[in-house]
Amino acid sequence: MIPVVVLTGWWLVAAAENRTAAAAPVAAVVVPVAREDVRAEASVSVSLGEAPGFELTMTGQGTVTTPPTVGAVLDSGAEVLRVDDRPIRAMVADAPLWRALSAGDTGPDVVRLQEHLAALGYYDGAADGAFGAGLRRAVETFNTDAGLGRRVPAFDPATVVWVGPEPLTVHEVLTTAGASIAPGTAVARGPARPDAVTVTEPQGGIAGLGDFTGGATLAVADVEVPYVPGSGAVESAPDVAAVSDALSPGTEGVARVSAVEARPVAVVPASALVQGADGTVCLYGSADARPVAVTPVGGGVGSAQLPSDLELDEVLTNPGRVDLAHPCGS
């Protein structure tokens, strides 16, 4: 069986103030890293009727210096808004980009980045899902045009806004110049979508919380239909009818969004994570080892999921209770 993990607040454990940190040090506790295949999952609410327009949400933070414009048609590469005086451009794709990408990365999200940069004229290589030298050069040029400086080799998803699988016309602007934004902040909305299933995701959405890049399903009772995380609606007439039958005689209820494909991950206790003063999240193999910076890709209050290529086989589970030779972020 493949474990299904609900994406919740593992970070509450890593970021919380450790009330025992000032107590007398105790013995280090080290446990093995678990390796599992898991599917991301989240609970949502659904209702029938006219769905609100597709919302454009940010993956970065900063201050809005130029807000979106009502009536603007957002195709790939179109400027959506400016944050800290840098342009944030539209990305048309079947799914959003959910992580920073750099040389050596592989996967369906790399394919989407290749296709996006190819559509904009930055990339002329194959959409093979491998971040190689050609894509690195394209990303450097894109980043220069995005105001990030020269020779920045990694792609930051905060430089784009996913507008869905088709170009979108801005129907409503949800922010103003001078407003502060953070990941998950909605800045604009497209036209309302009639005869749809409205899907209300948890605050901040689920698209950036786990790997749904292989597709996802929406389950209502015993009915499952395709769903694009972050889209906020199911619009296909047959799928709407199937959900309607599952909800009958009501018109709203609770549903589950699950990733279609399982992914290999490393699983560690949430208590093993330490957040440094600079925001870096770290693990330790032992009390005297140097910290290993990690980027969790999911988990819960009791555990955290990390990329499967984590090099550690064991982790220190109580870093807040022992004397560490090297602080996180050092």
CATH number 1.10.101.10 is the correct assignment for the domain at 101-155: yes
Q: Computed from CA positions of residues 274, 280, 283, 284, in that sequence, does the dihedral angle turn out positive or negative?
A: negative
* pLDDT class of 12 with cuts at 50, 70, 90: very low
Which phi and psi (to 5°) does residue 321 adopt?
-115, 0
- Here the tokens at position 40 are 């991301």
pLDDT at 206: 84
* pLDDT class of 8 with cuts at 50, 70, 90: very low
pLDDT at 214 over 90: no
Q: How far is CA 42 from CA 45, 101, 211, 319, in A?
A: 10, 24, 12, 30
Smallest Cα–Cα separation from 113: which of 88, 83, 148, 142? Answer: 142
* Intra-chain end-to-end CA distance of the chain, in Å: 40
Tell me which of 77 and 25 has the higher pLDDT: 77
Phi-psi region of 290 (alpha: psi -120 to 50; beta: other; left: phi over 0): beta
- Across all residues in the chain, what is the average pLDDT? 89
CATH number 2.40.50.100 is the correct assignment for the domain at 57-91+160-191: yes
pLDDT at 38: 87
Chain segment 120-133, per-residue pLDDT in tens:
999 999 999 999 99
pLDDT at 4 over 50: no
- Here the tokens at position 307 are 């990329």
Smallest Cα–Cα separation from 294: which of 302, 286, 279? Answer: 279
Domain ranges of the chain: 42-52+193-259, 57-91+160-191, 101-155, 263-316
When pLDDT is averaged across residues 303-313 and rounded to a whole number, the result is 91
On whether the CB atoms of residues 6 and 224 are closer than 8 A, the answer is no
Q: Which of 165-174, 212-221, 246-255 has the lowest mean pLDDT?
A: 212-221
Chain segment 217-258, per-residue pLDDT in tens:
999 999 999 999 888 999 999 999 999 999 999 999 999 999
Q: What is the DSSP string of 157-172?
A: GGGEEE--SS-EE--E
Task: Please tell me the distance from the alpha carbon of residue 315 to that of residue 63, in angstroms, as a whole number.
Answer: 38
Sequence-distant contacts of 147-153: CB under 8 A, at least 24 apart: 147/85, 147/86, 147/87, 148/86, 153/102, 153/103
Element (H, E) at 308: none
pLDDT at 293: 93
Chain segment 39-76, per-residue pLDDT in tens:
888 899 999 998 989 999 999 999 999 999 999 999 99
* pLDDT class of 208 with cuts at 50, 70, 90: low
- Here the tokens at position 288 are 């005297």
